Structure 1
């Protein structure tokens, strides 16, 4: 089994992993790099000839760094199968609308993804594929691929200890790709959540919290104990996520539904509310967060950033100017969690995706089998 890096290893963003076995070729995820200008560095590092030869693309979840290049792949020769969960398929259009061109969106809208379910076993050519809930988002899965006695474990984005979303155990594998979005961060999720609660308590006048529509928004609803506000366009999607109880920790759905039902509504052109305002997309590049951040900047309203901040985004500009604070919310594994995943997998080799090579090298003392020098264009044999 040959694994080729097309993005996301040795760099942050555009996660895309190629797998080839006995003439069958697939991609795991097709993300974009929102820190790069639209062009070669924005899309996966894969050529037209390779795209034409692909049999399938499996999408682990519908965040931009995992799915937003799907239309670009179609525009550049891909004509194979597309597989994802029903929840990811429902969310994909909104993600592409924010991060893809109109042509790419139109091409992606014409396909009918094959629906897979967490825990479902299926095959693509000689590859036996298993999936499980990732703990990162409703509809998010990890993937395990096996052939001829060798296997690959691909985390996608995972959260081993989410208080809201459930994660299934990963099977043993020979090569494991861990989600290293948080690099060498060792701060436990409970400590991170406590810091955010204390920050919000210190800003009773309210604050803008840009956040992705899926995943972290639901996590924040579970974290914030007082009143919250949202943009009206978010209510339906948040309700659907909360209603998908099979993806959630037992007993959490009722609490989330009650907090969402009580949420204030804020729209563009109105004063910012005296409550934490959750507004997607989390970066100020698209969605209601663009207007909310602009208004916060105009009136000097507090802003709390809780996730990845792409270079040159409105969120990045505000943080650089001292107009926004940043506290990382735990929606990816800490280093101890990744070390535990690697040890439990029994993998002889481990790769770190969603981080640059310098960050990956910092993980090696805790993950002894980590290979930290791969980059887009490189391949590794299992």
Structure 2
């Protein structure tokens, strides 16, 4: 079994890889890299598109599905597997991040989507693909690919210690592709959530919190200490996410639904509110926050950024200029979470995706089998299978 690392290895963004065995090859995720241009915006798929039998998408964030229209423009004609939540959210992601010409010629292919539920086991040729809940977003999954000889686990984006979502345990495998977004960051999510709550308390008379529409928004709603507003366009999606109770921890759905019912709706034409305001997306690249960040800057309205800020993104520019604060709300594993995932998977050989090259070495100090030198564009052979 072999892996072609097509994006997200030694870098953050354009997460994508193929897994092949014999004549069977599948593609896992097809993301874009915010802040890049030209070929680096897309996965490094040169010469491989015609050999891909099926595409499996872990969730609908731009660094995992944003290159779907581009992939179709390259001639991909095979099936596309995703959960119903990913199918429902992906068109908005493409609207924000696909190249307009590609999107016009190759809009979201609703008629080609093959749906599955987290926990289902899928087939493509001689490959068996097991899935499980990721803990990152509603409908988000990890994949474990088995050819009968070797087993590769690809985490996608996962959160093992979320206060909102359930993550299923990744089983024993021969090679584990970890979500290494935070490197060896040791600060637990509960500590960051308290810091965000304290910041919002200090700015409770009005502030802006840009956030992805799915995933982190629910984490923030759970952490906010008092009344808040949401951009009105978010409400239906948030309601749907909260209603997907199988993806949420016990009791969380009722709590979040109560919080959402009490949230005020805010529209673009309204004055900035005298309470915290959630608006998507998290970087200011697309959606309402792309319009709100300049407005907040002009008005001196406090801004708190809580996620990844690609270099040159509107959020990054504002933060570097000292006009926005930043506190990470963990929506990926911190150090203890990744070590636990690796140990429960049997301490296999490992790769790290979605992580800058200099941080992979730090993580290797805690996960000795991590191949920290692996980069986008390389091919990796899966170690010989061990007894499971």
Mark the runs of 5 or more structure 2 residues left unpaired by the alignment: 383-388
Give the secondary structure class of the aligned counterpart of 2:151: strand
Give the secondary structure class of the aligned counterpart of 1:41: helix
> 1:240 Cα shift?
0.5
1:93–1:105 Cα contact (<8 Å) kept: no
1:74–1:108 Cα contact (<8 Å) kept: no
2:282–2:307 Cα contact (<8 Å) kept: yes
1:5–1:378 Cα contact (<8 Å) kept: yes
1:97 and 1:306 map into 2 onto residues whose CA distance is 23
Per-residue CA shift, 1:93-121, capped at 9, x if unaligned? 00000000234334242342100111111
> 1:319 Cα shift?
0.4
2:204 and 2:353 map into 1 onto residues whose CA distance is 38
- Structure 1 range deviating more: 96-105 or 162-171: 96-105
> Paired residue for 1:50?
48
2:6–2:17 Cα contact (<8 Å) kept: yes
Map 1:1-382 → 2, pairs under 5 A: 1-37=1-37, 39-47=38-46, 49-106=47-104, 107-110=106-109, 111-382=111-382
> 1:347 Cα shift?
4.1
> 1:200 Cα shift?
0.8
1:97–1:105 Cα contact (<8 Å) kept: yes
Per-residue CA shift, 1:230-278, capped at 9, x if unaligned? 1111111111101111111111111111111111122223221111111
1:70–1:108 Cα contact (<8 Å) kept: no
Per-residue CA shift, 1:309-346, capped at 9, x if unaligned? 11111111110110000000011100121111111111
1:175–1:347 Cα contact (<8 Å) kept: no
What's the C-alpha RMSD, in Å, of the aligned pairs? 1.1
Mark the runs of 5 or more structure 1 residues left unpaired by the alignment: none
2:377 and 2:146 map into 1 onto residues whose CA distance is 22
2:169–2:344 Cα contact (<8 Å) kept: no
Give the secondary structure class of the aligned counterpart of 1:190: helix
1:180–1:352 Cα contact (<8 Å) kept: yes
- Structure 1 range deviating more: 366-375 or 199-208: 199-208
1:276 and 1:269 map into 2 onto residues whose CA distance is 17
Give the secondary structure class of the aligned counterpart of 1:27: strand
1:284–1:314 Cα contact (<8 Å) kept: yes
1:60 and 1:150 map into 2 onto residues whose CA distance is 21
1:296 and 1:326 map into 2 onto residues whose CA distance is 15
2:122 and 2:41 map into 1 onto residues whose CA distance is 31
Give the secondary structure class of the aligned counterpart of 1:109: coil
Aligned length: 380
1:42 and 1:238 map into 2 onto residues whose CA distance is 29
1:13–1:33 Cα contact (<8 Å) kept: yes
Normalised to the residue count of structure 2, the TM-score between the two structures is 0.96
1:33–1:65 Cα contact (<8 Å) kept: yes
Per-residue CA shift, 1:131-168, capped at 9, x if unaligned? 00000000000000111321001100000011111111
Runs of 4+ in 1 over 4 A off after TM superposition: none
2:68 and 2:187 map into 1 onto residues whose CA distance is 34
